[in-house]
Amino acid sequence: MDKINREDAGWLVALAWLSALEETARDFHGTRPSVFSARAYEHSVQYYLHLLGDEYGMQIKKAGSIREAVENYIQIGVAGGLFRDAHFFELVEVNPFHLGITIHDCAYLKSCQALIEEGFSVRDLTCARIGCFRAAVKALANIDCEYQVTSFNVDGDCKGFIERT
């Protein structure tokens, strides 16, 4: 049996935990797991930011707007090895309270695809990516937002928005 290298193993374990979390949310909340998932994403982002600070001494910049918070988080994510490149994301500020987000080639596409195949609608998707961006806005800018996926896997792109509540 081939031994899996540690980097791949790390991603594998992270993916297993994320899938487990998403599935548990659906076990308990059915087709409306967003309240549970949104809270989980908040915890996840907060832990991640703390770990980067505590373990690696990274400075986490606070933000004054939704857009700035997401941009900071992407920057942190690239530095922290979470994202390969900032170009995987496109941000469009419709107004200061509404940010449109496009994600190219998302790492979580497969798990969302499985849900779509089971009959889920796009708006039922919890989207760990945009969900974590929303959590980052709360953590970095102290702005409480809601989010929604608006299109899924159109030529590999997913779209959604974050809007201030």
We find the least distance from the C-beta atom of residue 110 to another protein, in angstroms, to be 12
* Contact string 100-119 vs another protein (x = CB under 8 A): ------------------xx
We find the least distance from the C-beta atom of residue 58 to another protein, in angstroms, to be 33
We find the least distance from the C-beta atom of residue 124 to another protein, in angstroms, to be 11
What is the rounded distance in angstroms from the CA atom of residue 100 to the CA atom of residue 91?
6
The SS3 of residue 119 is: coil
Cα–chain-centroid distance for residue 27? 21
26 binds another protein (CB under 8 A): yes
30 binds another protein (CB under 8 A): yes
- Taking CB under 8 A as the criterion, which residues in 5-24 touch another protein? 23
Q: How far is CA 35 from CA 13, 22, 85, 100, 147, in A?
A: 24, 11, 29, 21, 11
121 contacts 134 by C-beta, under 8 angstroms: no
Binding positions for another protein, rule: CB under 8 A: 1, 23, 26-28, 30, 32, 94-95, 97-98, 118-119, 163
